[in-house]
Amino acid sequence: MNIAVCIKQVPDVPAIRIDPSRMTIIREGVDSIINPLDVIALEAALQLRARHGGKITVLTMGPPQSEEALREALAYGADEVVLLTDPAFAGADTLATSHVLARALSLLAPFPDLVLCGRQTVDSDTGHVGPQVAEELSLPQVCGVSEIHLEGSSVVVKQVSEGLIYTLRVSMPALLTVSPELTLPHHCPLANLERAFTEQTVLKWSTRELGLSPDEVGLAGSATRVWRLFKPPPRRKGEVIVGSAHELVEQLMEKLEALSILDEETGSE
């Protein structure tokens, strides 16, 4: 089965700081990484390929430095990687981004049986791109899958939603977004990294190769605008107590009483 994985290069979020004067992200000294859930999607693709064969194509829309993320994807084991890059793509919201990705996917020959993405990114957090790509390509979608199994011309997936586990059959071609429970990424062998950077190639497509006009993409092709950015109000900081273990546990018990945690019928039900 052929699989396409859409990834995004994002800042390493725990290292992120906000510039309070300009209300923008301070990017200096912050590493760019593959969005963690996208790595999980790629790992899932690798596991499917190991069982069923096929080709894995990884795509990303981003500035030229996103090539780094694609080479890392090659090191993980992707067969082919495509960088969708063009100054016209800047400022895109998810509507415009999904348009570019969908167009690129439609140019893959053969068309993939599965398109995988992370459920959401650690920077924008929207989770919109997957469903919007699926919509443009008229693919059935399931978001937040925790298991994927191939069964003939369908995949059977598990999705946990509001306390229920759904087992769904999805006919291919389909788009799935993955949740963290699906798998853990393996560690990249260094030899693969070396090869990914020195021997392998990255395809680069701009508006020309994609057959898109500038008003369909980037800021021009977006429906939303950001008016301003600001930091949320700080969370309360409570008291910090030092003392003997007994004193501390006493305080803890008092707090539990105050919250009525100990009143309820607790224990197994």
Partner 1 sequence: MNERSYSGIWIFGDYRNYFQNRVTLQLIAKARGLARTLKTEVTVLLLGDHVHQYAMEYVAHGADVVMVVDHAALRHYQVETYTKVVAGLVAEYRPEIFLAGATPFGREFFPRLAKRIGTGLSADCVALEIDPESGLLIQTSPSFGGDLLADVVTPDHRPQMATVHPGVFEEQPHNGSAMARIVYPQVEIESDDRVQILRSRAEQKGKVRLEDAPVVVAGGRGLGSREHFDKLFELAELLGGEVGATRPAIRSGWAGNERLLGQTGKSVKPKLLITIGTSGALQYTTGVQGSETIIAVNRDPDAPVFKIADLGLVGDARTILTLLLEKLRKRL
Partner 2 sequence: MRFEPTMKQAVIRRTARRLAEEKLAPIAAEMDVTGKFPLGVAQEMAALQYFGLVIPHAFGGAGLDMVSYSIVVEEISKACAAMGLCISVHNSVSAYPVYEFGNADQRRRFLTPLATGEKVGTFCLTEPNAGSDASCLETMAVRDGDGYILNGNKIFVTNGGVSGLNLIFAFVNGPGKTKEYCVFIVESEREGLEKGQNEELMGMRGNPVCPITLNDCRIPKENRLGEEGQGMKVALSTLAGGRIGIAAQALGIAQACLDVSLRYATERHQFNKPLTEFEAIQGFLADMAARIDAARLLIFRASNLRESGADHVRESAMAKLFAAETAVYSARLGLQIHGGYGYSKAYPIERFYRDAKVCEIYEGTSEIQRMVIARSLQRGRGSP
Interface positions with partner 2 (CB under 8 A): 31, 33, 65, 67-68, 71-72, 75, 187-191, 193-195, 197-198
From 150, 156, 188, 193, residue interacting with partner 1 (rule: CB under 8 A):
156
Q: Judged by CB under 8 A, does residue 97 bind partner 1?
A: no
Q: Which does 241 bind (CB under 5 to 8 A by kind): partner 2, partner 1, none?
A: partner 1
Using only C-alpha atoms, what is the Rg of the chain?
22
**In terms of CB distance, is 206 or 222 closer to partner 1?**
222
Q: Which does 21 bind (CB under 5 to 8 A by kind): partner 1, partner 2, none?
A: none
Q: Can you tell me the distance from the alpha carbon of 171 to that of 113, in angstroms, rounded to the nearest whole number?
A: 9
Q: Which residues are CB-neighbours of 123 under 8 A, at least 6 positions away?
A: 10, 11, 13, 35
The helix (H) or strand (E) run that includes residue 136 is helix 129-136
From 16, 26, 188, 203, residue interacting with partner 1 (rule: CB under 8 A):
16
From 52, 149, 194, 252, residue interacting with partner 1 (rule: CB under 8 A):
252
**Cβ–Cβ < 8 Å for 89, 101:** no
Tell me which residues in 44-63 interact with partner 1 (CB under 8 A).
none
Q: Which does 243 bind (CB under 5 to 8 A by kind): partner 1, partner 2, none?
A: partner 1
**How far apart are CB 164 and partner 1 at their closest, in Å?**
5
Is the Cα dihedral 33, 37, 41, 47 positive or negative? positive
Q: Is 47 helix (H, G, I), strand (E, B) or coil?
A: helix
Q: Which does 53 bind (CB under 5 to 8 A by kind): partner 2, partner 1, none?
A: none
Q: Is 100 helix (H, G, I), strand (E, B) or coil?
A: helix
**In terms of CB distance, is 56 or 202 closer to partner 2?**
202
Burial of 57 (0-12, 13-18, 19+ CB in 10 A): buried
Question: Torsion angle, CA of 69/31/144/152, rounded to 10 degrees?
Answer: 20
Q: Which does 140 bind (CB under 5 to 8 A by kind): partner 2, partner 1, none?
A: partner 1
From 21, 50, 163, 190, residue interacting with partner 1 (rule: CB under 8 A):
163
Q: Judged by CB under 8 A, does residue 29 bind partner 1?
A: no
Q: What is the token pair recorded at 187?
A: 């560690």
